[in-house]
Structure 1
Amino acid sequence: MSITPSPVPGPEKQPLPESTAASPAVSSQIKSSNLPIILLAVVMVLGLGGLFLFTKNLSDRLEQAQVSLQASLTSQGQSLEQITRRLDQADARQSELQGEVGATQQTLGSTQAELQKARQMAAELAKQQQAAKQELASQLGELAEVQEATRGNLGDLSTDVSGVKGEVKSTQAELEATKSELKRVIGDLGVQSDLIAHTRTDLESLRARGDRDYVEFDLRKVSKRQKVGTLQLELKKTDEKRQKYTLNLIADDRTIEKKDKTVFEPVQFYQQGYRQATEIVVQQIFKDRITGYVSSPKLRDAQAAAANMQ
Structure 2
Amino acid sequence: MSDERTTVVETTPAHSGALLGAIAIAVLAAVGGLVWSYTLSNRITHQEAALSEANQQNAKLAGELRETNARLHVATDELGRSVGMTQKQMDTRAQEIMAREAADNKRLETAQKQTAQQVSAVSSDVSSVKTDVGGVKTDLTKTQGDLATAVSQLQSIKGDVDSHSSLIARNAGELEVLKHKGDRNYYEFTLSKGQKKPVGTVSLELKKADPKKSKFTLEVFADDRQYDKKDRNVNEPLQFYAGKDPALYEIVVNSVGAKNTVSGYLSTPKGAPAPPNVQ
Highest RCO, 1 vs 2 (Cα 8 Å, sep ≥ 6): 2
Higher strand residue share: 2
User: What TM bracket, shorter-length normalisation?
Assistant: 0.3 to 0.5
Structure 1 length-normalised TM: 0.37
Structure 2 length-normalised TM: 0.41
